[in-house]
Amino acid sequence: MPDESTKDKSKAEVIAGTLNELNPEVKGGFHVPSCSISEFISNAVPGASTPQTSLTEYIKNQSNLTYPPSTVPTSSGATGTILLIGNDLPASDFLSLSKVSRVLGLPCILVRTYGMIGSMRIQSAKEQFTVLQPRPSTEKFDLRLNSTSLTPSSFPSLSEFVDRITARLKEMDVQQHSHVPYVALLCRAVKQWSEDKGSMPSTFDDKALFKETIKKESLNYNDELNYQEAVEKAYTAYAPDSGVPDEVKDLLESSNVNEISGESNVFDILLSSLKVYLEGNGGMPPLNGSIPDMTSDTDSYVELQKIYLERSAKDLKEFTEIVNSKVKEIGKEENHIPPATISTFVKNVPYLTVVPSKSYFDEMTNGPSDDDKEALMEQVWDPYEVFEHSPFLWWVGLKACEMHHIENNHWPGKDYEKDAESKKAEVDMLATTMLSIFEKYGVDVSDMEAEGEGVSKPVVAKIAEEMCRFNGAEMHNVGSVLGGVAGQEAVKIITGQYVPIKNTYLFNGIVGCAGVLMG
């Protein structure tokens, strides 16, 4: 903790020293600019009068930083080493930092604690975050079990494995029979059904009959877990191959993907290559090679895993050749995209995610878009159990405070304790600003007290009063929560793993609830 010996030191120096004690492997430094923080940030904008004393120049002069940030993701998916973080700066400085973030092509996080309310806004370097490794909680296994994928010509090694292992079913004892992988059982059922019916089950009755045929093949269904797994996963066999998810298909249709050039980023080049691969492989993506756990004997499971891994390696090789061809077309070196990045992309094709990111500067200067309005209305329709503590209400209150600070260069509530008249004037002024924000977002505000639904003027007045009472105070407990959340999001952005929040996180420390708000 800071003591008497630190009173003449800058806040940056004290914090850097404290943080360096947490992990000896991490080296942190500090910089105290010769100008004000506001000038230090705003001078980074092209055309500034004193660019030599700017954030940009400071970054360029740091030997341990990569600037401009690399456009090639590392094996972990990260696209650079620089992340801007602004903490409890004046609203006008947040505007400057947001603008500089887009100008320099760097992501940033804006964190604010305001009394018992805390907010965090994340902003991508461009208009969106591209996530190569979303790491979803449930994995999608691409086993290619239906009749279209499972043919001797399309997947010969799997077809041969299934024929060989299922040909001995009638000769197996109970132990062996109950350890045939469900993948083989389903493939056999698919082949038999396809030969008898000419097509896969499509109606409810056909699907029920398909499952029943699998059950009848068992010696004792209640004791054979592999047959139970086959029935449970039957839908993976008769569901049509959809190729890639609709969200990924939407990404493939963007102009950035269809018109790549030497200026295109790595993600768009990989998507463009994927589109070519899909066109040449019946709409199916490269196999990622992973298989789920299942009831099986060790030898069969290891052989099955080897089959999928070998096919995955073959598909990866074909995809890599397409990528290298694309890279060559746009005048880049062959290794412009590292093999590790291509491999990571292939393994995560079903989960590829793009998170739209509107800049704080655009939001404050251009107002809400139709998507922003819709997102806020969704919050209105799904409030917190106590309506007046819903995060979106306090987000509007905080937004009004920032607008007040930009206009008046101080937080609302400066004269809150002066007298009753001054207090009322402060609260009324902030409430009026809040009402104007609701109007811009298309939210109707009633004159009556809200009873669980809708926004009312009395509720707005209550929040305005609390925000004036806070007067920009920084509370340590709220700061702890926001620091933890911001740290988590920073790791996501730096590593390119897991999906970052969409724009704004707001924490209501009065009741301990939080919400994520678009725009």
| Residue 209 reports pLDDT greater than 90 | yes
How is 350-419 classified by DSSP, letter by letter?
GG-EEEE---HHHHHHH---HHHHHHHHHHHHS--SSGGG-HHHHHHHHHHHHHHHHHHSS-TTTTTTT-
At 504 the pLDDT is: 93
Q: Which two tokens stand for residue 69?
A: 């940030």
Res 8: pLDDT: 83
**How confident is residue 50, by pLDDT bands cut at 50, 70 and 90?**
low
What does the alpha-carbon distance between residue 291 and residue 312 come to, in Å, rounded to a whole number? 11
CB 378 within 8 A of CB 503: no
pLDDT at 81: 67
Chain segment 433-450, per-residue pLDDT in tens: 999 999 999 998 886 664
Taking residues 462-469, what's their average pLDDT?
94
Residue 488 has pLDDT above 70, yes or no: yes
204-216 and 225-232 helices, crossing angle to 10°: 170
**pLDDT greater than 60 at residue 122:** yes
pLDDT average, residue stretch 324-328:
93
Residue 150: its pLDDT value, please? 55
Identify the pLDDT of residue 149. Answer: 54
Q: What would the two tokens of residue 209 be?
A: 């009959």
Tens digit of each residue's pLDDT (9 = 90 or more) over 289-323: 999 999 999 999 999 999 999 999 999 999 999 99
- For the cut 60, the answer to whether the pLDDT of residue 244 exceeds it is yes
Residue 326, pLDDT > 90, answer: yes
- SS3 of 94-134: the string is HHHHHHHHHHHCCCEEEEEEEECEEEEEEECCCCEEEECEC
Residue 57 has pLDDT above 60, yes or no: yes
The rounded distance, in Å, linking the Cα atoms of 460 and 388 is: 8
pLDDT at 261: 87
Q: What is the pLDDT of residues 359-390, one digit of tens each?
A: 999 989 888 888 888 888 888 888 888 888 99
d(CA 100, CA 123): 11
Q: Residues 316-336: what's their mean pLDDT?
A: 91
Q: What is the pLDDT of residue 269?
A: 93
Choice between 486 and 451, residue whose per-residue pLDDT is larger: 486
Q: Tell me: the pLDDT tens digits for 84-108? A: 999 999 999 999 999 988 888 889 9
- Which residues does 218 contact at the CB level (< 8 Å), separation at least 6? 177, 224, 227
**Highest-scoring range by mean pLDDT, 245-249, 276-280, 355-359:** 276-280
pLDDT value at residue 46: 62
3-state secondary structure of 455: strand
Q: What percent of the chain has pLDDT over 90?
A: 49
Question: Binning pLDDT at 50, 70 and 90, where does residue 79 land?
Answer: very low
Burial of 449 (0-12, 13-18, 19+ CB in 10 A): exposed
Structure tokens at 222: 């209640």
Q: Is pLDDT above 80 for 347?
A: yes
Query: What confidence score (pLDDT) does residue 372 get?
Result: 86
User: What are the sequence ranges of the domains in the chain?
Assistant: 136-240, 243-351, 385-471
Q: Comparing C-alpha atoms, which of 397, 363, 369 is closest to residue 99?
A: 363
- Stretch 334-345: mean pLDDT: 90
* Mean per-residue pLDDT over the chain, rounded: 87
Predicted confidence (pLDDT) at residue 3 exceeds the cutoff of 70: yes
pTM of the model: 0.83
- Report whether 215 contacts 224 (CB < 8 A): no
450 three-state secondary structure: coil
Three-state secondary structure readout of 251-302: HHCCHHHHCCCCCCCHHHHHHHHHHHHHHHCCCCCCCCCCCCCCCCCHHHHH
Q: Would you state the pLDDT for residue 71? A: 45
